[in-house]
């Protein structure tokens, strides 16, 4: 075991104190979860018509500043519907980072649209807007206000920035690119609840956004997600589509379009309401943990602890170390030894175009993403470690 791995194991273990196993990210239930879930069960309204669905949606709006929140069964469902409402259709291309969780590409595929992979920058681990602008200038043309890929002859309809590990993308730069090429912005904010870009909560900058409340997220509903939008008409459509497109009626079953059974049940929403009450506290602890990591790992030539961009306040959902170039060979040893010693670490996701389902999708030069894939390691990030 090399000295770097020993140092990581020693210091992370000290943060975990008495526990024998330190997970990557564990939920914390220390508020009103039992009270609210029990109350929901006693009410008998445990499906998506329960009052806790409305209460949780209002709490999300209050926290994020978004005008409308529509709860869904998971973040992928939220992204799927957001893309539909942004006008993405079959055979359209959707720009997205190759460095993302597979759900981003899956949601595009549900519509029978085409993922088009673009590169990221090291500063934010999100989309490199400058590089994207140069690329689109080369491969696209605008016909009747529509961005056309000259190589594939398909429309490029939208762009999906993903706020990696909770760190916001440089959205001002990206907005300029989107406006220049007439692209809709749909934010994949699955990981960034509690993160702010220049004082604005993520998810408020694009036309729509998707958030995840999966078990490993900063707050959880077990499984669950949410659509954010500031457009009243889109919010109404989102609620309608995710409720099987059922037309309101006292007894008739009338549906006016193809819809989805995507609404979050009230039982999950009750859990979420209790969790969001603790969100500010969780973020304070997670930012404290990030500060500790920065101090612990400050003097190594082999790697750098990743910190938020200067324009952002991040929730630090998942902390990461980035091996410096020339030290990529240390990655697998660090992963192996930490996990064998009870400290869960993970590599960043395999780039989406490396997966067989998406290997033939269009893509730009992905040299930064290719490099980061070999160098990024996520380390334990649970809020309790920052206590």
Angle at 82 between CA 71 and CA 272, to 5 degrees: 20
What are the structure tokens assigned to 133, written together?
């602008």
Give the Cα separation of 36 and 283 in Å (integer): 22
Q: Which CATH class is domain 3-27+279-386?
A: alpha beta
Domain 3-27+279-386 and domain 33-276 have a common topology: no
- pLDDT tens figures, 87-137: 999 999 999 999 999 999 999 999 999 999 999 999 999 999 999 999 999
Q: Specify the pTM.
A: 0.96
* Strand 93-97 relative to strand 114-118, pairing: parallel
Give the Cα separation of 361 and 150 in Å (integer): 15
In this predicted structure, the answer to whether residue 323 has a pLDDT above a threshold of 80 is yes
- Helices (H), ranges, the chain: 3-16, 33-43, 51-64, 75-85, 102-110, 129-139, 171-180, 232-241, 266-276, 279-296, 331-340, 367-373
* Strand 184-188 relative to strand 156-159, pairing: parallel
CA-closest candidate to residue 168, choices 316, 69, 49, 319: 316
Give the Cα separation of 190 and 285 in Å (integer): 20
97's enclosing H/E stretch is strand 93-97
Query: In the CATH scheme, what is the code of domain 33-276?
Result: 3.40.640.10
- pLDDT tens figures, 355-374: 999 999 999 999 999 999 99
pLDDT score for 14? 83
Percent of the chain residues topping a pLDDT of 90 = 92
Calculate mean pLDDT across residues 49-77: 97
In this predicted structure, the answer to whether residue 18 has a pLDDT above a threshold of 80 is no
Calculate mean pLDDT across residues 270-282: 98
Calculate mean pLDDT across residues 324-350: 96
Confidence of residue 383 (pLDDT cuts 50, 70, 90): very high
Calculate mean pLDDT across residues 328-338: 96
CB-CB contact of 167 with 314 (8 Å): yes
Confidence of residue 50 (pLDDT cuts 50, 70, 90): confident
Calculate mean pLDDT across residues 263-285: 98
In this predicted structure, the answer to whether residue 320 has a pLDDT above a threshold of 90 is yes
Domain-wise residue ranges, the chain: 3-27+279-386, 33-276
Confidence of residue 39 (pLDDT cuts 50, 70, 90): very high
What average pLDDT is seen over the chain?
96
């Amino acid at each position: 075991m090399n000295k770097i791995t020993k140092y990581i194991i020693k210091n992370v273990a000290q943060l975990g104190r008495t526990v024998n196993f330190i997970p990557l990210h564990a939920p914390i239930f220390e508020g009103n979860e039992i009270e609210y879930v029990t109350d929901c069960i006693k009410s008998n309204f445990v499906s998506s018509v329960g009052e806790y669905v409305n209460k949780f949606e209002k709490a999300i709006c209050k926290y994020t500043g978004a005008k409308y929140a529509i709860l869904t069964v998971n973040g992928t469902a939220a992204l799927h519907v957001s893309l539909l409402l942004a006008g993405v259709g079959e055979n359209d291309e959707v720009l997205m980072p190759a460095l993302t969780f597979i759900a981003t590409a899956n949601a595009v595929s549900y519509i029978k649209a085409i993922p088009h992979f673009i590169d990221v920058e090291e500063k934010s681990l999100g989309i490199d807007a400058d590089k994207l602008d140069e690329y689109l200038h080369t491969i696209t043309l605008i016909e009747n206000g529509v961005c056309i890929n000259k190589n594939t002859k398909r429309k490029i309809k939208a762009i999906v920035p993903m706020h990696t590990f909770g760190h916001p993308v440089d959205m001002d730069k990206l907005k300029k690119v989107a406006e220049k090429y007439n692209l809709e912005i749909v934010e994949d904010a699955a990981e960034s609840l509690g993160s702010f870009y220049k004082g604005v909560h993520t998810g408020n900058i694009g036309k729509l956004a998707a958030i995840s409340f999966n078990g490993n997220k900063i707050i959880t509903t077990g499984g669950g997600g949410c659509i954010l939008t500031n457009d009243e008409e889109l919010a109404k459509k989102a609620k309608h589509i995710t409720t099987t497109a059922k037309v309101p009626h006292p007894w008739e079953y009338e549906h006016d379009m193809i819809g989805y059974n995507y609404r979050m049940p009230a039982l999950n929403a009750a859990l979420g309401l209790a969790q969001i009450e603790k969100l500010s506290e969780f973020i304070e602890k997670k930012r404290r943990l990030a500060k500790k990591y920065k101090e612990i790992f400050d003097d190594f030539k082999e790697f750098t602890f990743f910190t938020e961009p200067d324009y952002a306040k991040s929730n630090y959902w998942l902390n990461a170390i980035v091996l410096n170039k020339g030290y990529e060979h240390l990655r697998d040893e660090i992963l192996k030894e930490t996990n064998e010693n009870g400290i869960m670490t993970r590599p960043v996701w395999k780039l989406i175009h490396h997966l067989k389902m998406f290997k033939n999708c269009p893509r730009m030069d992905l040299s930064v993403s290719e490099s980061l894939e070999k160098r990024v390691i996520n380390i334990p990030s649970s809020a309790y470690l920052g206590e």
